[in-house]
């Protein structure tokens, strides 16, 4: 186990980390959980696993009742070890499948179904209630755990987000960047306008623009904010 796990005192509480794609949210959340000796919850992976179940079943993405039934009948498990995160669907590892282009293209439609969100939010709350947690997603601070000791909303300039996302996909040419930027705009618009748990900056959250910061700089900032939040709560 890497030695830096114990460099920071154990954090007792919940960090809610929200924001759109391309802000560094997942990487920051895992590293922050390691530093704080907390469990790590990737709620996006849960919605992606639900989407895999729907796609495998060949369900029409415009049929919320069928989507709800399929997800309700599926077992979605996420590992909370920040060193070894995992996602399983009905007992099978789907870590690779949840990151495919097909899953990414369909996840907003599946995650917008209110009954799906109700089911998965209940599961997420059970996980968070077990131990100190760094949870990342799009509605952690607003819906899943609004009483988190620290709520952070990560942002970044559109061109930075597009470049990061294209880099994850293995290409940085101008055509790919333009396509990725358009895809991000479409998903932002979809997620921000959905009726159930729309993407928004949670009340009482701290906004952090990651455009000009390294991952390590963001993590260091959030470690400081986390312990500052705990100190403030203890004094209250």
Backbone angles phi, psi at 153, to 5 degrees: -115, 110
CA–CA separation, 222 and 219 (whole Å)? 5
Hey, is 105 helix, strand or coil? helix
For the chain, domain boundaries: 9-224
Q: Are 184 and 169 in contact (CB under 8 A)?
A: no
pLDDT band at 100 (very low <50, low <70, confident <90, very high): very high
What is the pLDDT confidence band of residue 6, given thresholds at 50, 70 and 90? very low
pLDDT above 90 as % of the chain: 69
User: Which one is predicted more confidently, 232 or 2?
Assistant: 232
Residue 13's closest CA among 141, 193, 115, 147? 147
Task: Tell me which of 3.60.15.10, 2.40.480.10, 2.60.120.620, 3.40.50.300 is the CATH number of domain 9-224.
Answer: 3.40.50.300
First and final C-alpha spacing in the chain: 36
Contact 162, 21 (CB under 8 A): no
- In order, the DSSP letters of 128-146 are HTTS-EEEEESSIIIII-T
* Mean pLDDT of the residues in the chain: 89
128 contact partners, CB below 8 Å, separation of at least 6 = 14, 41, 135, 144, 145
Contact 64, 196 (CB under 8 A): no
pLDDT of 85 over the 70 cut: yes
pLDDT of residue 174: 63
pLDDT of residue 4: 46
Q: Which residues contact 67 (CB under 8 A, 6 or more apart)?
A: 54, 59, 61, 110, 113, 116
3-state class percentages of the chain: helix first, strand second, coil last, to nearest 5 = 55, 15, 30
Cα–Cα distance for residue pair 211/158, rounded to 1 Å: 9
């Amino acid at each position: 186990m890497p030695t830096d796990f114990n460099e920071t005192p154990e954090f007792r509480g919940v960090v809610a980390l929200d924001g759109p794609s391309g802000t560094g949210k997942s990487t920051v959340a895992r590293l922050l959980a390691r530093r704080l000796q907390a469990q790590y919850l990737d709620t996006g992976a849960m919605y992606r696993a639900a989407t895999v179940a729907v796609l495998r079943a060949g369900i029409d993405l415009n049929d919320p009742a069928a989507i709800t039934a399929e997800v309700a009948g599926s077992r979605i498990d996420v590992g909370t070890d920040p060193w070894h995160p995992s996602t399983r669907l009905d007992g099978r590892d789907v870590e690779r499948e949840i990151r495919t282009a097909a899953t990414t293209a369909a996840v907003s439609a599946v995650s917008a179904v209110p009954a799906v969100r109700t089911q998965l939010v209940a599961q997420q709350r059970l996980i968070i209630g077990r131990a100190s947690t760094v949870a990342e997603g799009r509605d952690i601070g607003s819906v899943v755990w609004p009483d988190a000791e620290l709520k952070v909303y990560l942002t970044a300039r559109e061109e930075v987000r597009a470049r990061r996302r294209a880099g994850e996909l293995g290409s940085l040419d101008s055509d790919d960047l333009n396509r990725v930027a358009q895809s991000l705009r479409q998903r932002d618009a979809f997620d921000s306008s959905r009726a159930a748990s729309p993407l928004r900056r949670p009340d009482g959250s701290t906004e952090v623009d990651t455009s000009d910061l390294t991952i390590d700089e963001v993590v260091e900032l959030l470690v400081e904010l986390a312990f500052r939040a705990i100190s403030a709560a203890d004094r209250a």
